[in-house]
Amino acid sequence: MPILTNTFTPQDLRKLPVSELPNLAREIREHIVRQISKSGGHLAPNLGVVELTLALHYVFDFLHDRLVFDVGHQAYPHKLITGRLALLDKLRTREGMSGFPEPSESPYDLFRVGHAGTGISTAVGLARGDQLNNESFIPNQRPEGRRIVTLIGDASIVNGVAMEGLNNAGTLNRQFLVVLNDNGMSISRPQGAVSQYFDRLRLSHRYGDFKKSARKLLEHIPGGESLIGAYHRAGEMAKAMVNEGGATGGGGAGGWFEHFGLLSFGPIDGHDLPQLIEFLGEARDIDRPMLLHVKTVKGKGCEFAESDSSRFHSPGAFKMVDDGDPDSERQAANGTAGATSPSTPVPLVSEGCRVEIKPEGRSFTTAFGDAMLAMMQRDPKVVACTAAMPDGTGISKVLPKFPERSWDVGICESHALDMMAGLAKTGFKPFLAVYCTFFQRAFDQAFQEAALQGLPVRLCMDRAGLVGGDGAVHHGFCDTALLRTLPGAAIMAAIDEPSLLAGLEFMRTFDAGLSSIRYPRDIVSPALADTACPAFELGKARLIHGPDVCAQSRGEALHAPAVHAAILAFGTPAIDAIKAARELAGEYTISIYDARFAKPIDTALIRELLTRQIPIITVEDHSSIGGFGSAVLEAAQEMALDASRITRMGLPDSWIMQDSRARQLAEAGIDAAGIARAIRHAAGGHESAAQRTSEPSASAGGLKRPISSAG
């Protein structure tokens, strides 16, 4: 009979004997594998923290105590044992369970967490707040007080904010527990000296002997039968001895973290439930900051996830097929198991199984990786970097080919951008591939070390705009607004693979300052496959559909019907704009321009449209505040033009939660249907261009004829 049910809570967990917890851990893994095989999601990181999550909830009461996740994509087991199993079958959708901690789902979730490195600092704030409110745990004085735990992992301990948090955590005069989940991985292999330090520790022959060696030390301390007893009875001497034990002769966690003022223990086995519960049970009552170093296996319990934890960090939907029967899919893949009840687990796949991630088409990420490889092959000055996302950004394609000219620096976006500035200063052409949402962490460096210096650092913004199932924590919605403030910057967006390649080539030769190009987590559209893609020209848009409004200004002949509205699209909404225009072809004639640049924008085009009184619709997969549409409005005002015919479309001033990208675009009103509505409103809300025969404004050059497709 299943242990895990839709109503299961940590109170139920604490009623179970420790001997029953491995069975619960197995059920949790089976539910996670079954669901992610259908919907996609974060697989390997969640499989690796099942026992650790169970032990934390077994020892602490997080309805009262505080649990802060540093890495939100490790929260699936936490959610399943806090009453959310029924939401799992709609994982990463509005109706189901978010893939990250979500306070609106449960009081057990304190923060929406999607950016690594933040957990220790926010936990320090909670700790100080509880102290000021006289609610913090104090042994013998306030034993009922709140305790604080933060769980950090996937190599985010190397993030600069995490180090700042540790530096401040050591000054706390109260209980404060940092659990370091060390799985030897980030999203992919971790990078840098700190990760190498932990590698040495994990490979030490003393690994696994910590508990025994620490006990031997404690036996020599009067009353030192427990960690608590040793600490409280022998004070700093016991602390030093326990740290020495944890350091296993100077090579352990204590040798690093004691410099931050934290009492430190470990590493211990993160899959040994009795040992975890015993250590946490003792650590919960130590009234000063401490760190417990836990060693786990990413993808634990699922053979294919363990053997390739990078590929299965966050896979799309996949199927599992028995090698002996190629036509037979495992039940977990097609969802037949447990179809009658989400509480019915399926067997985990182990030997004799082939796993196939379902193809989705050619992505912008794949197109970017191929383009970077080709560019680095023909230009020895091009260098590339990413911050812990080599697979997610496509940089994994160049790392093995150009190990001296490409780097993964780990979860350190600020460092990455500063390093790129240094390379630019020495004459190289640096490209930083980064998720749009994570670029925000490096904006100060984009300002100070790149733009202010006039250095040509090149930003390649993957996952721009709405990102689908990852939801609000990962949307890239403010990069254009941020970068537009930087003098001399060239800010671009791609609409398909040819435009991405043309944009990257423009950046390669653009040396006047910082440049960026954004593109979504999506499949590249073939809509313009039969249309030549011209080279990017600084600040110039490109006509991609309908009559050319500017033809007459160039002295070209007019042979097309009147234009009812012009769409200036920044990025992939241009493809949906084409769909909308084709749907309305019998009602309206629409010109669509791929804007290409949000800075500098095509002011000549804007002047031409507005002086000919043609309504402009701007559309972008970005916040409508400060984005491309705002740039068009500002340009109209600076040219003293009437901006009343400008309609802006973009992301609303509200949070858009997890769901499919298609549903999110529809919610924002920037899908084909939303653009069609905007066309009807803009074209119908003003006298149509074909009807306007009155005197044009002086800025129109004194023309006195009906406004045609060319003006």
Looking up residue 630, the CATH number of its domain turns out to be: 3.40.50.920
- For residue 695, count other CB atoms closer than 10 A to its CB: 10
Residue 38 has pLDDT above 80, yes or no: yes
Mean pLDDT calculated for residue range 552-570 = 78
pLDDT of residue 571: 98
- The C-alpha atoms of residue 518 and residue 364 are separated, in whole angstroms, by 10
Judge whether 185 lies within some domain: yes
User: Nearest 5 degrees, angle CA 34-CA 40-CA 42?
Assistant: 90
- Nearest CA to 47 out of 62, 30, 22 is that of 30
Amino acid at 309: S
Q: Are residues 60 and 83 in contact, defined by beta-carbon separation less than 8 angstroms?
A: no
Judge whether 118 lies within some domain: yes
Question: Which residue out of 84, 441, 484, 518 is catalytically annotated?
Answer: 441
The CA-atom distances, in angstroms, between 373 and each of 211, 306, 391 are 49, 29, 14
**CATH number where 167 lies:** 3.40.50.970
Concerning whether 298 is annotated as a catalytic residue, the answer is: yes
Residue 581 has pLDDT above 70, yes or no: yes
Q: Which helix (H) or strand (E) holds 630?
A: helix 628-638
What are the residues facing 506 on neighbouring strands?
none
Mean pLDDT calculated for residue range 618-627 = 98
pLDDT single digits (tens) 332-355: 433 333 333 333 444 454 455 667
Judge whether 505 lies within some domain: yes
Q: Which segment of 230-239, 247-256, 688-697 scores lowest on mean pLDDT? A: 688-697
Residue 206 has pLDDT above 90, yes or no: no
Same domain, 49 and 176: yes
Q: What is the DSSP code string of 478-493? A: SHHHHHTTSTT-EEEE
Judge whether 105 lies within some domain: yes
Residue 112 has pLDDT above 80, yes or no: yes
Q: Between 252 and 428, whose confidence is greater?
A: 428
pLDDT of residue 710: 31
- Nearest CA to 206 out of 134, 274, 295 is that of 295
How confident is residue 511, by pLDDT bands cut at 50, 70 and 90? very high
Which of 486, 503, 518 terminates a domain? The answer is 518
Residue 196 has pLDDT above 70, yes or no: no
Name the token pair of 524.
């590249």
- The C-alpha atoms of residue 521 and residue 436 are separated, in whole angstroms, by 10
Residue 541 has pLDDT above 90, yes or no: yes
Judge whether 453 lies within some domain: yes
The domain of 669 spans 542-700
What's the chain's average pLDDT? Answer: 85
Same domain, 598 and 499: no
Report the C-alpha dihedral over residues 204, 210, 214, 216, rounded to 10 degrees.
-80
Residue 360 has pLDDT above 50, yes or no: yes
Which of 295, 320, 336 terminates a domain? The answer is 295
- The C-alpha atoms of residue 248 and residue 253 are separated, in whole angstroms, by 9
- Nearest CA to 596 out of 528, 495, 676 is that of 495
pLDDT of residue 194: 55
- For residue 696, count other CB atoms closer than 10 A to its CB: 18
Same domain, 62 and 192: yes
- The C-alpha atoms of residue 351 and residue 303 are separated, in whole angstroms, by 7
- For residue 472, count other CB atoms closer than 10 A to its CB: 20
pLDDT single digits (tens) 309-320: 888 988 989 987
Question: Which residue out of 27, 51, 413, 620 is catalytically annotated?
Answer: 413
CB proximity list for 702: less than 8 A, separation 6 or greater: 696
Residue 432 has pLDDT above 90, yes or no: yes
What are the residues facing 623 on neighbouring strands?
651
Could you give the percent of the chain with pLDDT greater than 90?
A: 72
Q: Are residues 458 and 489 in contact, defined by beta-carbon separation less than 8 angstroms?
A: no
By the 10 Å C-beta count (0-12 exposed, 13-18 middle, 19+ buried), 404 is classed as exposed
Q: Look up residue 377 and give its DSSP letter.
A: H
What residue spans of 335-478 are helical by DSSP H? 364-378, 390-393, 413-425, 436-439, 443-445
Same domain, 509 and 592: no
Could you give the percent of the chain with pLDDT greater than 70?
A: 80
What are the residues facing 647 on neighbouring strands?
617
Which of 295, 322, 354 terminates a domain? The answer is 295
Q: Are residues 595 and 541 in contact, defined by beta-carbon separation less than 8 angstroms?
A: yes
How confident is residue 324, by pLDDT bands cut at 50, 70 and 90? low
Report the C-alpha dihedral over residues 469, 363, 676, 691, rounded to 10 degrees.
150
Q: Which helix (H) or strand (E) holds 270?
A: none
Concerning whether 554 is annotated as a catalytic residue, the answer is: no
Helix (H, G, I), strand (E, B) or coil at 152: strand
pLDDT of residue 333: 39
The CA-atom distances, in angstroms, between 96 and each of 89, 100, 270, 319, 471 are 7, 12, 29, 22, 12
Q: Are residues 269 and 295 in contact, defined by beta-carbon separation less than 8 angstroms?
A: yes
Question: Which residue out of 298, 405, 484, 596 is catalytically annotated?
Answer: 298
Q: Which segment of 293-307, 451-465, 492-506, 604-618 scores lowest on mean pLDDT? A: 293-307
Mean pLDDT calculated for residue range 416-436 = 98
Q: Are residues 582 and 624 in contact, defined by beta-carbon separation less than 8 angstroms?
A: no
- For residue 597, count other CB atoms closer than 10 A to its CB: 23
Same domain, 548 and 514: no
Same domain, 508 and 579: no
- The C-alpha atoms of residue 71 and residue 496 are separated, in whole angstroms, by 32
Residue 512 has pLDDT above 90, yes or no: yes
- The C-alpha atoms of residue 215 and residue 238 are separated, in whole angstroms, by 12
pLDDT single digits (tens) 516-533: 999 999 999 999 999 999
The CA-atom distances, in angstroms, between 16 and each of 51, 67, 82 are 14, 21, 15
Q: What is the DSSP code string of 533-558? A: -PPP-TT--EEEES--TTTGGGT---
Judge whether 322 lies within some domain: no
Same domain, 548 and 403: no
pLDDT single digits (tens) 451-481: 999 999 999 999 999 999 999 999 999 999 9
Same domain, 504 and 578: no
Same domain, 268 and 190: yes
pLDDT single digits (tens) 247-288: 433 444 456 788 888 998 888 999 999 999 999 999 999 999
Q: How many domains in the chain?
A: 3
Amino acid at 498: P
Concerning whether 300 is annotated as a catalytic residue, the answer is: no
Name the token pair of 539.
């600040």
Same domain, 581 and 683: yes
End-to-end CA distance of the chain: 74
* In 506-656, beta strands by DSSP E: 515-518, 542-545, 565-570, 590-594, 597-599, 616-623, 646-651
Q: Between 346 and 619, whose confidence is greater?
A: 619
Buried-exposed string 605-626: b where 16+ CB fall within 10 A, e elsewhere: bbbbbbbbbbbbbbbbbbbbeb
Q: Are residues 75 and 69 in contact, defined by beta-carbon separation less than 8 angstroms?
A: yes
Helix (H, G, I), strand (E, B) or coil at 22: helix
pLDDT of residue 41: 93
pLDDT single digits (tens) 129-183: 999 999 999 999 999 999 999 999 877 888 889 999 999 999 999 999 999 999 8
Same domain, 484 and 622: no
Same domain, 421 and 497: yes
pLDDT of residue 205: 38
Judge whether 413 lies within some domain: yes
What are the residues facing 386 on neighbouring strands?
408, 433
Judge whether 582 lies within some domain: yes
pLDDT of residue 348: 56
Report the C-alpha dihedral over residues 425, 428, 429, 432, rounded to 10 degrees.
-70
- The C-alpha atoms of residue 230 and residue 290 are separated, in whole angstroms, by 14
